[in-house]
Structure formats: C-alpha cells, structure tokens
Amino acid sequence: MSTLLLGKKDIRELIDINMVIDAVEDSFLALNRGAAQMPPKTYLNLDKGDFRAMPAALPYSAGIKWVNVHPQNYKHNLPTVMAVLIYSNPETGYPLAIMDASEITAYRTGAASGIASKFLARHDSKTLGIVGAGRQAYAQVEAHMKVLEIEKLFVYDINSNKADCLIEAFPSLKIEKAGIEETAGCDIVCTSTPSRGPIIYNEWIKAGAHINAIGADAPGKQELDPEILNNARVIVDDISQAMKSGEINVAVSRRQYDSERIKATLGQVISGQKRARENDFEITVFDSTGIAIQDIAVAGAVYNKAILAGRNNYLELDLFS
C-alpha cells in the first residue's frame, strides 16, 4: 500500500467552498449525535509561537492535524499559520494520505462561520463586516456569499494594504474599506485578528447583529469587549475548547463572563436541538475555536476527490518491512 501526497497546489485544485460547507455541517451533526470522537486540542507553546495537535475520528475517516501559529513569520517570508494533516483508514490505521492543511484550515474555518451565520444571523441580514483582512478573511467572504444574500461588505485591517488586497480579490462584490467602528456595525461581523485584548466594543454593535469571533484560538487571545458576551446569546463550536482557548477564555478566567451562560453548541443549533435566537433584536455570537472534526471531514472529502481525479503522487513508507 502507498500513501498519497497532496501539496498546497493539489489542495487548491481539489477544494471548493461548497464541498467544505457540506462536510463541515455534516461534521457538526455527527459530533452532536455522538458519531465522532475528538479529544481536546493539545498546545505546545514556544518562544515564537505555538503548535497544536488536533486528532479526530468520524465514522469513515480518522486523522490528525499538526498546525502552528507563529505571528512573526512574516519576517521570514512564511505564513503565520501552517498545517500538515495525516489522513488514515480508521479500520487499519494505515496512513492513506499526507496533505498540506493550510488551505483546509482556512476553508473549514470560513465554512464554519458561514454555517453559523446561516443559522444564527437574522434572515434579512444584508451587510457583512470583516475585521482583519488576512488569509482567513478570503474564506469568510467566500462562505458568506454562498449561504446568504449579502449586498455590501465592509473591511477593516490595521494594515490598509491588506484591506486593498481583499477588495481586489473580489471585483464583482460591493466591498469598501471602512473604520473599525463602522465595520463592526454591520448585520454580520467576522473578526479574525491575533489580538490579545478587546478591539470590538459593545456600543458599536447594532441590535440583532451576529458576530463570528474567530481570532481567539489560544489561551490569552481576545477580540470582543466582555460586555458584548454578556449582552449576547453565545454559541460555541466546543464548550471545553471555547473555555480554554476561545473568545470567552479571557473573560471566563477573569470572571467577566459566566460559562454557564453559553446557550448551545453549533451542532445543537443545526440539529434543531437548541434555539438559534429568540428574536430579531437579540445579538448572537459564535465562538469559533476551530475543531478537529472539521479538518478530518474536509480531508476526507478532498481525499475522495483526489482518488476520483486520478492523483497518483504516492510515497512508499515501507511500513511492512
């Protein structure tokens, strides 16, 4: 047996946002009904950044993603986030594929937010605010344009050139640069920055808005004013992970937010087990930490598509010798 190698170029050719949205939504449902296994994300903290080990298993797939976050990597002309995924046969453990997971990470995170907005945002939401115009912002735009009828987008980044690049990437969309306060005042707001303190404040958020809080994915990270959390209906991807490393982690540790106030997981909302929102004036927040079942579900879809497409760049690991 051989192990398929899929580099970033391969993943870009095989992956598409529709496939990812379907896989991620199915993974949330599988986790909610107990058909998936996912140990907590493990962190390895170093001076310049951190690594995360993210294993998971679904009924027909299993694997582990090894991902780093090194904020100063731009000095070395390297991405802040890089990831590799080992995709295995759950029946035998044989490594079916080793694949670049940077694109998978970006796409599945964007898809999770798009799904959250589909279920949690007001149905008449027309404006989308993007705070932070790095790689993740592109996936956020793609996913939201697939699931909602967004009419206008606003983007803010501390680096104005990044905002320009995002706008140029979507010439057919109505996007404009704006200040952070105006961007945060949209119907739907997506935050994806490395901030370790509040950058979005309660008084900027309009009644009935939905917020996808994405940037806080490690202990000590925080983007939202805790007052927003206390005024909102908070939905998480995974409760224990959110408390440890999600948007709520700092507020919980400082007793500025009570984790007992978490209303549901996104899987419970998608399945209809828990209510999405009470009314059109309620603020909703999706605390997106990024969970391993999303990666493995998308990796499975990519692997199957690669096999059908006849990809044949194999590695012989000599596991039988």
Backbone φ and ψ for 171, nearest 5 degrees, come out as -65, -20
Could you check whether 3-104+293-315 and 122-291 share the same CATH topology? no
Question: What is this structure's pTM?
Answer: 0.94
**Whole-number pLDDT of residue 316:** 84
**Whole-number pLDDT of residue 320:** 63
Domain boundaries, the chain: 3-104+293-315, 122-291
CATH code of the region 122-291: 3.40.50.720
Residues 282, 272: Cα–Cα separation, whole Å = 18
Which amino acid, residue 310?
Answer: G
**Whole-number pLDDT of residue 163:** 98
The residue to which tokens 């105006």 are assigned: 182
What is the CB neighbour count within 10 angstroms for residue 6?
Answer: 24
Query: Burial of 295 by CB count in 10 Å (0-12 exposed, 13-18 middle, 19+ buried)?
Result: buried
**Whole-number pLDDT of residue 321:** 56
- Digitized pLDDT (tens) for each residue of the chain, 321 residues in all: 799 999 999 999 999 999 999 999 999 999 999 999 999 889 999 999 999 999 999 999 999 999 998 989 989 999 888 999 999 999 999 999 999 999 999 999 999 999 999 999 999 999 999 999 999 999 999 999 999 999 999 999 999 999 999 999 999 999 999 999 999 999 999 999 999 999 999 999 999 999 999 999 889 999 999 999 999 999 999 999 999 999 999 999 999 999 999 999 999 999 999 999 999 999 999 999 999 999 999 999 999 999 999 998 988 887 665
* Residues 6 or more apart in contact with residue 118 via CB below 8 angstroms: 147, 148
Residues 272, 287: Cα–Cα separation, whole Å = 19
**Whole-number pLDDT of residue 139:** 97
Q: Which CATH architecture has domain 3-104+293-315?
A: 2-Layer Sandwich (3.30)
- The set of catalytic residues is 65
> Are 257 and 282 a contacting pair, CB within 8 Å?
no
**Whole-number pLDDT of residue 317:** 82
